[in-house]
Structure 1
């Protein structure tokens, strides 16, 4: 098949897990013999002089990375303007590079399917699917309502939510990475097609396994991820003094960056954990593997998590898993076979699960081994690509009908911890 993947991030431009997901999917599809083109962008803050549009082939995938246009838009302050400008560039590249200069059939390339990844590429993906008259598949990796506990009353929240709704409404097939995300997307958007679940995959070879052995000295816990409210680091900090009562000297290493660093640092002071908690900031792949091999357990206390790729990466390295049941984490980890779980925002449950893990390191090591063994069967990229191709093969472009604006149900902002915006 000729497959056009549209994504706002793709290596070397990687913002989060979405870029890695699209990269693995694209290369796996290419390895299976499909003709894959990825339409993506150059780095933010660049221009066509320093970073012109490129058309290259890497790992069997044709990658068209579109230059930013000259108008000055910043994603952090002008998100919608920036997004629309990026989409405009994508559409022009799709018409001039893929369809061929001046419509020359000798250089044209027409996809069999357009696959959009998240709302930020909704405009170019919908336009190109219409221009090429081919089906559009969308993978919705997260939702604005989910990220903000259902609150979409703010202007930007409503705008993002409405674009997500539009993307779902225009799709001929929708994919989510977990059962919980399928339920969320169905409830929020009621798309006119079936929502199918295809879990994220992992290349376990990039995360070498090291069996846990009993060691002396205080326990070391690890958190890896973005420092955002929905990641629940505040609950782990609240639990840590309780954990240290039964396991004296336990320390916590936090690997990641985000908007809530200052607030979390204040909580560390509040709980008198200054000498106990270490903020490393963002770390590279090699350093993260080292931390997973060194620490006694990784704790992922998310309050909202569409899937939780970090759980799979951690499982590959052999570190015992202690995770919340938020969203896809509850599907990535099977309690008690492959890890221990607790309800989101349940500090007492988190405390109990960590204590149980640290008190019986041999049982924790057995669970870690089972978690690693499960990866090859349930979360390989070959399996992800095969199931995605099945969606491509079955999907048909349906007749479009004019649509009105969505009805957005506003919910009040949930009560949050003091000091958190």
Structure 2
């Protein structure tokens, strides 16, 4: 099939896990013999004079990266206007450079590319598949209090209803999307994220050196890695650390990642009097992260909201024992007592008990870590993910252009009774 994949991030422009997902999926589809074109963008804040539109082949994929328009717009300050401008640039780049090439399917990844993906599917007469990787309501615990929240939600609603098939990365996300946008859950395809296990194993010498760096006297070492945002629940892990240290004296925590909550989390560490027991190390290169994963006695993922949890797969690929909340897709990736230990999102005492159980019985934790690793090849290999995605493409008919009404947005919590 000829596949036009539309994404606002694609390496080297990577904001989060979505960029890695699209890259691996596109590469695997190309290796399977499909003709893949990825439509993306140049870095935010760049200029067309220094970063012009690029049309190139990378890893067997044609990648079309649209230059930014001259308008002075900033993502952080003018999110919706910036997103619309990006969409216009993508549409013009596609229509002026694709020539006679026509896709058999257009695949949109998240709300930020709703406008260009819908426009191109309409103009080119192709079926539209949309993967919703997360939702605005989910990220804000069901509240759409600010105008920006409501705007994003309405674009998500539009994409979900215009798409000929919707994909989510977990069953919990399928249920969330069906509830939020009033869709038939049986019509939503569930295709998990994948993992490339190679590159996560490191030598014993590097593991020892990393432990020496972060836990020089043999203390228990915990690791969180990922974005530093409120929904990731790192504040709960920090709050649990005093309890963990009472049971396992000297326990240290490494927090790897960047985000808007970094300053808040440092303040929380001081408030709970554990600042000296936590290393905030920022974003780490993959080689350093792999060594830290292998050195940790437990990787803790305390998310309050998590559509899937690709970080859990990366930890499993490195052979690290997992402690994770049961939020969203994490509950499907980390099987309590089998591939890791789970706790209820936001339950600080439960989090502390879960970590304590891993530190109390390292042998059992190792068995669970091996079980987590063994699932990667059967359930989360990219060739399997690509095959399932291609099957969705093949079964998706073209619904054609649709003119849709403006959705009604509840004034209360969208996961509760509508006001």
Q: Which bin holds the TM-score, normalised by the shorter protein?
A: over 0.9
Asked whether the 8 Å contact 1:136–1:397 carries over to 2, the reply is yes
Superposition map of 1:181-330 within 5 A: 181-191=173-183, 194-208=187-201, 217-330=218-331
CA drift at 1:413: 11
Q: How many aligned positions are there?
A: 406
Q: Tell me what 1:139 maps to.
A: 131
Asked whether the 8 Å contact 2:122–2:400 carries over to 1, the reply is no
CA drift at 1:404: 1.2
Structure 2 length-normalised TM: 0.94
Residue 340 (1) aligns with residue 333 (2)? no
Q: Which runs of 4+ in 1 moved over 4 A?
A: 209-216
- CA distance in 1: counterparts of 2:403 and 2:269, whole angstroms: 53
Q: Tell me what 2:112 maps to.
A: 120
Asked whether the 8 Å contact 2:343–2:354 carries over to 1, the reply is yes
1:206 aligned counterpart, secondary structure: coil
CA drift at 1:187: 0.3
| Runs of 5+ unmatched residues, structure 1 | 101-107, 415-421
CA drift at 1:400: 4.6
Shift in CA distance, 130/374, structure 1 to aligned 2, threshold 3 Å:
same
- CA distance in 1: counterparts of 2:401 and 2:56, whole angstroms: 34
- CA distance in 2: counterparts of 1:130 and 1:400, whole angstroms: 5
Superposition map of 1:95-174 within 5 A: 95-98=95-98, 100=99, 108-174=100-166
Per-residue CA deviations over 1:325-358 (Å, capped at 9, x if unaligned) read 0001000111111100000001111111100000
CA drift at 1:4: 0.2
Per-residue CA deviations over 1:116-143 (Å, capped at 9, x if unaligned) read 0000000000000000011000000000
- CA distance in 2: counterparts of 1:219 and 1:413, whole angstroms: 41
Shift in CA distance, 209/317, structure 1 to aligned 2, threshold 3 Å:
farther
- CA distance in 1: counterparts of 2:22 and 2:76, whole angstroms: 23
Asked whether the 8 Å contact 1:209–1:318 carries over to 2, the reply is no
Q: CA RMSD in A?
A: 1.8
Asked whether the 8 Å contact 1:210–1:293 carries over to 2, the reply is no
Asked whether the 8 Å contact 1:139–1:174 carries over to 2, the reply is yes
Q: Tell me what 1:56 maps to.
A: 56
- CA distance in 2: counterparts of 1:231 and 1:97, whole angstroms: 40
| Runs of 5+ unmatched residues, structure 2 | none
CA drift at 1:290: 1.2
Asked whether the 8 Å contact 1:219–1:247 carries over to 2, the reply is yes
Per-residue CA deviations over 1:245-296 (Å, capped at 9, x if unaligned) read 1100000000011111111111111111121011001111111111101111
Asked whether the 8 Å contact 1:210–1:318 carries over to 2, the reply is no
- CA distance in 1: counterparts of 2:112 and 2:402, whole angstroms: 23
CA drift at 1:410: 2.3
Per-residue CA deviations over 1:37-73 (Å, capped at 9, x if unaligned) read 0000001111111000010000000000000011110
- CA distance in 1: counterparts of 2:377 and 2:164, whole angstroms: 30
Shift in CA distance, 54/32, structure 1 to aligned 2, threshold 3 Å:
same
Structure 1 stretch displaced more, 259-268 or 120-129? 259-268
- CA distance in 2: counterparts of 1:53 and 1:191, whole angstroms: 37
2:412 aligned counterpart, secondary structure: coil
Asked whether the 8 Å contact 1:210–1:317 carries over to 2, the reply is no
